[in-house]
Each structure stands twice: as C-alpha cells, then as structure tokens.
Chains A and B, each alone.
Chain A
C-alpha cells in the first residue's frame, strides 16, 4: 500500500477539504492508500520514515514550517506541492509587500486590540522574512495548482503518482475552458467588479473587467467567469511563461495602455496568488 503523508504549513486547510470533496470516490481511493501522517485527520504526532508520497499544503512563513519541510523531504520519496500556496505562495504571499515588523505591528495594534503593540514572542516560531513557495527550500517532485485544486485534478495527479506515471497538468489557459464568447474587441475602459452588470455570455475581459483568465493555467473549468466574476489567477501561471503578473500586465497594457495604468492595486491584482514565485517576489525599498 502506498504510504501517504499530508500536512498544512502556511495554508488554510482548503486543499485538504478539496481532497475530501472527492466525496464517494474517497471510499474507492482510501482502501488503496495508507495515511501515515495527517495532523488534520489523525493524531499521529511524529512524521514516520519511509513515506512514499507527501502532500504539502501551504508555503513557508515561519521557521517551524521550514524545519518541518526539511524533515518531510528527508523522510519522503516524492514531495508534492499541494495547492497554490505550496507551489507559488498563495494569498499569504501578499504579506511580502510588508516588512515583518510592519506586518506584526498592524496585526497587534488593530482598533480592537486592548494592549496595542504587545507582540507575542514566547513559545511561537519566528516568522521568516518573506513567504516563499516550498520549492525555494527543497526539491519538489510534482505540483497540483489551484486555490484549492479541483478534486478531479487531485485524483488525476495522485493516481498517476501512485501508478508510477508522470502526472500531467493542463497546458491550456482558463480562457480555453471559458464558455463566454470573445468578440476580439479591446476593452474601452477597465471596470471594477461592482461597476456595471456584465452582459451575459460575453467575455468579461472584453467588457472591461480585469479577468486574469488569459494567463492562468486551466483546470478549474473557468469557475469564476461562469459565476459572473473575473478570474483572479488562483491556478497560477502556465508552463509557457515565467511570471503570471508580467504576462497579464502585458495583455492589459496591449489592449489599452492608458486605461491599464488606471487599474487600482496592480500588484495585488496581478500577483494575487503568486507573488512569492514572481520575478520580483517582495516589496523593494
């Protein structure tokens, strides 16, 4: 039986939930694997040796996570970056726009805080300078992108690994799975999602909504555009480009440079899920 480990590092457990969202299929998969370490599901406290496949959810935000990651690598044959946080840093990576002490000062001095400015420092791991994807520390054998990945993708990749095959990720972009029609027109102006009601059936980007579908790896089935919301890039970049943010910036600017410059919070939009893996991965003073 294949021995599996699964852990949450700097993530939210959403990738674990996506695995459970295989629902009835779980009953077919579980008998063929042995879960030997999984703090979210079982009380085993030590990571055992000889793990075949380790699914790592979340990137690295503190020294304890970094330490666990090295231990996992040593004890596992294959390490999988499970979800966008592990693969690209994910939403917590937005923290890279601040210095650590700046970030902690804000967290511990909110209006609701009684003893403003007291920063916890006992018994807890020190934060790392910035959030990083796990591949910055250890060799990563495979990745399963998505925030969270779809259960279907998880099943596909996991099955391939268990059968000793090379797992394949979608090569296309979200636009390729999107039912909304492109009419090959450029947006006249960029709109925020609450401005206007999108015309049904027409590409959101061409209507001026800042959709990241044209640079984002396919796999979700264009979930957000199907629900009337522009893609935010949660599956990360495709194999064809180096940097999702740069790719999309290019698309937006080519379509309408003057209007593109007016888009608010460009970093937080273009690198929403991937800042720690971007060519420039933090705020530079």
Chain B
C-alpha cells in the first residue's frame, strides 16, 4: 500500500499535511488531514486571572485574532454575570466586523484568487499575491485598501490592528474619538464600492470554474450558525444546528454548548473534530462559515 503526502499545506494559517492512502491498485483508499501543531492554550490559560485570558488567546490565530479576543471576554462577562453598556457592545461588534473585512480580503485576494485569476497551472512562484500584483495591480490595490480599512477599524476599536487588547470584562477600555469615527466615515463609501466589485469578481471566477466544482465530491454535514431572532448575526445571539437535509433545526444558547458540541480526538491529528453531540461522531460533523450561516437562517 502506498501513500501520497502533501506537505506543507499552503496559503492557509497553521501547519498541516494531507495524507492519501492508496490501495493495491494505486486507488485512493483514505484521505487524512493532519494538523501537525499544538500549543496547549487549553492548559496554559488555566489558573491565570480571567481578565488576562482575552490578552492571551488572540494568539491562537494571527488572522482571526478578534473572535478569540471577543469570545473569551464575552465568556467572562457571562461567568461574572455582567451586562455590558450598549456602546461597548457596539464597539466590540464593530471590531469583529473590521476583522471580517480584513479576513475576507485576505482570504480571497491574497490567498485564493491567484489560483482563479492566474490559473491553477501557473507556477507556484507566480501563482501568489506577488504574481497577482504584477498581473493586475489595480485589483490588488483594492484588495489592499479593503484590508487596510478592516485593520484600521480593529486598530481604532481594539487598540491594535493585530491582537487587540481593549475587550475587558464589563465592556471596553477605549472609546472611539470623533476624529476616528470621521476618518472611517470618509472612506466607507469607497470601501463599500470595492466590496461590491469584489463580489462580482468572486461570482465571475467561480462561474468560470463551475465545471470543476461539479466534479468535486459532495459531503453531507450538519450546519451551525449564529442567529438573532432567526436572522443571521455575527457578534451575539443564539446558536442553531441544522441537519444535512435541512429538516431538523435545534436552537441553543452559547452557554449550553457542552450539551450540544462534542470533540473527537483522532490519532493522526493534533486538532480535534467538533461534532453535533446528539448525532454522534462522525455523523454529527458540521460546517460553519458563510454557507452554514445562511443555511441556518430563517
């Protein structure tokens, strides 16, 4: 039995490899994704003052540090039974949206787009953001502008564009100055325009690859997303699981997560596999992200 190993998996955050196990006839028998690093946040936050955790866990990921910062501070608000002032909640939500703006621009333009625009057969030396900047500088300028705007929002609301610090149990340590608000407002129309254009670029390139998409395998999974009265939301709300066929919907409060979400350890992966507890593992494996968020909404 042979195996093919793709390592490192690239243009993503983190460390991993893909192992394809082959049968006697050289046909793929099993495909394993192996995340090859662990740092142990679960252990080393234990015993530290709770309010320090939001200043530690952003380092789980340098791309999406804001959700880690905010999830931990929200958990402490909750554990200590405090309700935060409305402006603080709005600033925290804005921080999250800023991160999403950066993260989407990063994912699409800096990481994924080189495949779509330069073609999957272009050499890896060219098929990247540097190559894209040479091929289509105007597009990359817009990508940079989107990221800059998102990062600036996090800088203003979070105190730092990467690894924010202002989330504190009970609220936020920094208010937004009028000049800061005006600075963002001055740019917002242009940024919305760039974002709208980006959606069109995404549609265009996806359509170009529709044949390929249809050839890909299909995996049925559960879906998980956050909702506010049935509507899609990002910062705060209730969680909903939806079954693969869309018929079953289960709503629960984030505080009850242990009753609904389990994690399975597999031997070849430092990352655990989360699953919907009532469906068990592996049947209860679920998707998150845009598709899941839209699917679960009313």
Contacts and interface: CB of A to CB of B under 8 A. Distances in A.
Given A15-B62, A43-B11, A120 B52 contact: no
Contact of B48 (A8, A10, A228, A265): A265
B250 to A, nearest CB: 17
Contacts of A104: 38, 40
Nearest to A110: B42
B42 A12 contact: no
A226 B159 contact: yes
B173 interface: yes
A119 interface: yes
Nearest to B13: A13
Contacts, number: 236
A45 B163 contact: no
* Interface class of chain B by DSSP: loop
Interface in A66-105: 90-92, 94-95, 97-98, 102-104
Nearest to B134: A31
Interface string A24-59: 101100100001101111111100000000000000
Given A8-B15, A21-B161, A123-B17, 18 more contacts: A20-B110, A24-B148, A35-B128, A39-B8, A41-B10, A43-B10, A44-B125, A45-B7, A61-B38, A91-B39, A92-B39, A103-B44, A107-B42, A122-B268, A124-B268, A124-B270, A194-B51, A227-B160
Interface stretch (B136-144, B191-199, B205-213, B234-242): B136-144
A269 interface: yes
Interface of B: 6-15, 17, 19, 32, 34-40, 42-44, 46-49, 51-52, 55-56, 59-63, 65, 106, 110-111, 124-125, 127-130, 133, 137, 140-141, 144, 147-148, 151, 158-163, 165-166, 168-170, 173-174, 257-258, 261-270, 272, 274-275, 281
Contacts of A184: none
Given A114-B263, A193-B168, A194-B168, A95 B39 contact: yes
Given A41-B11, A62-B37, A95-B43, A224 B141 contact: no
A152 interface: no
A229 interface: yes
17 contacts: A8-B15, A12-B59, A12-B65, A14-B162, A20-B106, A27-B144, A41-B11, A43-B11, A91-B59, A94-B56, A103-B43, A114-B265, A123-B32, A224-B165, A227-B173, A229-B159, A264-B49
Contacts of B9: 39
A120 B265 contact: yes
Contact of B10 (A39, A224, A226): A39
A26 B11 CA distance: 18
Range of interface residues on chain A? Answer: 35 or more
A77 B75 CA distance: 47
Contacts of A65: 37
